[in-house]
Amino acid sequence: MTKDLAEKAGINTEVVVPRHDFGVKLHPHQEAAVEALSNGKILFGGTGVGKSITAATYYWRKEAPRDIYVVTTAKKRDDLDWDAEFIKYGVSTAREYSSAGLLTVISWNEIQKYVNVYGAFFIFDEQRLVGSGKWVKAFLKIAKKNRWILLSATPGDTWMDYVPVFLANRFYGSRTEFKREHVVYNTFSKFPKVDRYINTGKLVKHRNQLLVEMPYESHTVRHGRNITVAHDKELLRRVVKERWHVYENRPLREVTELFSVMRKVVNSDPTRLEVVRELTTIHPKLIVFYNFDYELEILRGIGNSSERKRQTHLTESKGGERWPPILEPTQIPVSTKSSRSGSTVLKTASLKPDYIVSAARPIPQSSTSIKNDSTNMTSTITSGSTFPIAEWNGHKHEPIPQTDRWIYLVQYTAGAEGWNCIETDAMVFYSLPYSYKNLHQAHGRIDRITTPFKDLYYYTLVSDSVIDQAIQKSLKVKKNFNERDYIRSKKVI
């Protein structure tokens, strides 16, 4: 290992360090996981508990000097996250500098290029092995000829999700065999739909053989708050009742289009952007998750230097007290346009954070005053300064700004997993995703074992519309929202 590589890994080159660990120190829950891991198992732990360094340590102790392949998200590959973990053990992507095998980090989209690799060790990060698509087929081919482990924060919602891993461990000879032994289909459904599973004791035994859990008592406390925002009820009624595409002035063609337009009506309401703007005055560094491109266009306007400039002035009557203090929830006023008259009216978004925001008076166009009645604290926001905005989505892969104030706009599918940020304590869900896994993974982006924050704040913007309430109901019970199932339930007439 060269001196430069040692310095990058944070290793003191003046001290002779035993080769077996290179001075890397693990937490007790990580050490226990390393000892429990073996070929074909799933390293299962919540987001931010240190699965990456645990997997790297397992390789170093039990699988080296085999070549090592890490299959991960494109963001973690591009950000060199795995390179940083393995360099701690002197394992490099350059053969001449590696103290063991050669490290190769690829994205899931590249997995098919490596199906002919033989005798190596694979780490499958942020588990994507669901169904029977090309990724699963490539994984099964690789698993036959190599040693491997999986890393996951959400290993499986149903028994069908475990099928690829069960096949790779040769618990079953084929997917058909698994279905024959355990799956009972609904005979009244027009498409294959699992009614129930049988012989589940065997399934539990197989799962317990594979899962290596990483229980960890986090030092962080999550504060989740729903903020009720407005929506255009008349416009939504026309979409739902008349099946009319209000943006293209024509009838709706199909169910998917119906839900797409419903969501656009609800998610485009200006109260959402106003609430995000207010939250930036409380959290100068803010991550905002969104779903659709039209939401991105709306959010891009939040930091427009020619339209919105801000200055924050805080006056405290109680010196040295944390702001915002931990108090009772109330409401925050936000202004919006009336859909009928076009005039500006006052809407009230129900904000339920761990602090009080008074809704005593309307917001003037030039400035906003948020007053805490319990501590006589006032924050005045005036048109003046700006902060940078960066994006992570299918169009842009920008790093988080290295400034004192910023907004990071992240699309759920592109950035719900595979990266982390310990520079902020706050996150906003501008709209709800259909996927519970995406929402769960998104929460973990700031909840890391290395975060300096104890209190983490998660704000979910949700309206009282039929679509928002239906999605939220599914996510609350850890289920994905399904449009066709919702239609069949006759809740949309």
Q: 85: helix, coil or strand?
A: helix
pLDDT of residue 467: 94
Q: Is the peptide bond before 65 cis (omega within 30 degrees of 0)?
A: yes
- C-alpha to C-alpha distance for 362 and 421, rounded to whole angstroms: 35
Burial string for 87-102 (b: 16+ CB within 10 Å, else e) reads bbbbbbbeeeebbbbb
221-322+385-488: CATH, from 3.40.50.300, 3.40.30.10, 1.20.1050.10, 3.30.300.30 = 3.40.50.300
pLDDT of residue 303: 60
pLDDT of residue 273: 94
Cβ proximity of 287 and 446 under 8 Å? yes
What token pair was written down for 256?
């998917």
What is the tally of helices (H) and strands (E) in the chain?
A: 17, 21
pLDDT of residue 79: 82
pLDDT tens, position by position, 47-94: 778 889 999 999 999 999 999 999 998 888 888 889 999 999 999 999
pLDDT of residue 53: 92
- C-alpha to C-alpha distance for 222 and 439, rounded to whole angstroms: 14
Q: Where are the alpha helices (DSSP H) in 405-456?
A: 412-415, 436-443
Q: Which of 161, 141, 75, 73 is nearest to 109 (CA)?
A: 73
pLDDT tens, position by position, 89-123: 999 999 888 889 999 999 989 999 999 999 999 99
Q: Per the confidence metrics, is the pTM higher than 0.85?
A: no
Q: Residue 245: beta bridge partners?
A: 250
Query: How many other C-beta atoms are found inside a 10 Å radius of the C-beta of residue 202?
Result: 12
For the chain, give every residue range classified as CATH 3.40.50.10810. 3-213
Q: Which of 6, 60, 53 is nearest to 27 (CA)?
A: 53
Q: Which amino acid is at 72?
A: T
Q: Which of 22, 43, 34, 137 is nearest to 89 (CA)?
A: 22
φ, ψ of residue 437 in degrees (nearest 5): -60, -45
- C-alpha to C-alpha distance for 285 and 428, rounded to whole angstroms: 11
Residues in the chain predicted with pLDDT less than 50, given as ranges, are 1-19, 305-385, 493
Cβ proximity of 285 and 426 under 8 Å? yes
Q: Residue 148: beta bridge partners?
A: 122
What token pair was written down for 220?
């962080």
pLDDT of residue 318: 32
Please tell me what DSSP assigns to residue 61.
I
Query: How many other C-beta atoms are found inside a 10 Å radius of the C-beta of residue 369?
Result: 14
Quickly tell me which residue has 């407005």 as its tokens: 230
Quickly tell me which residue has 């700031």 as its tokens: 446
- C-alpha to C-alpha distance for 91 and 121, rounded to whole angstroms: 13
- C-alpha to C-alpha distance for 263 and 258, rounded to whole angstroms: 9
pLDDT of residue 448: 83
For the chain, give every residue range classified as CATH 3.40.50.300. 221-322+385-488
Per-residue 3-state assignment (H helix, E strand, C coil) for 443-457: HCCCCCCCCCCCEEE
392, 398, 401, 407 alpha-carbon torsion, rounded to 10°: -30
**CB under 8 Å to 235, separation ≥6 — which residues?**
246, 265, 339
387, 306, 363, 282 alpha-carbon torsion, rounded to 10°: 0
- C-alpha angle with apex 157: 44 to 254, nearest 5 degrees? 140
- C-alpha to C-alpha distance for 248 and 169, rounded to whole angstroms: 52
Q: Residue 147: beta bridge partners?
A: 121
Contacts for 180-184: CB closer than 8 Å, 24+ residues apart: 183/159
Helices 436-443 and 466-476, interaxial angle, to 10°? 70
- C-alpha angle with apex 348: 444 to 368, nearest 5 degrees? 85
Superfamily of domain 3-213: Tandem AAA-ATPase domain (3.40.50.10810)
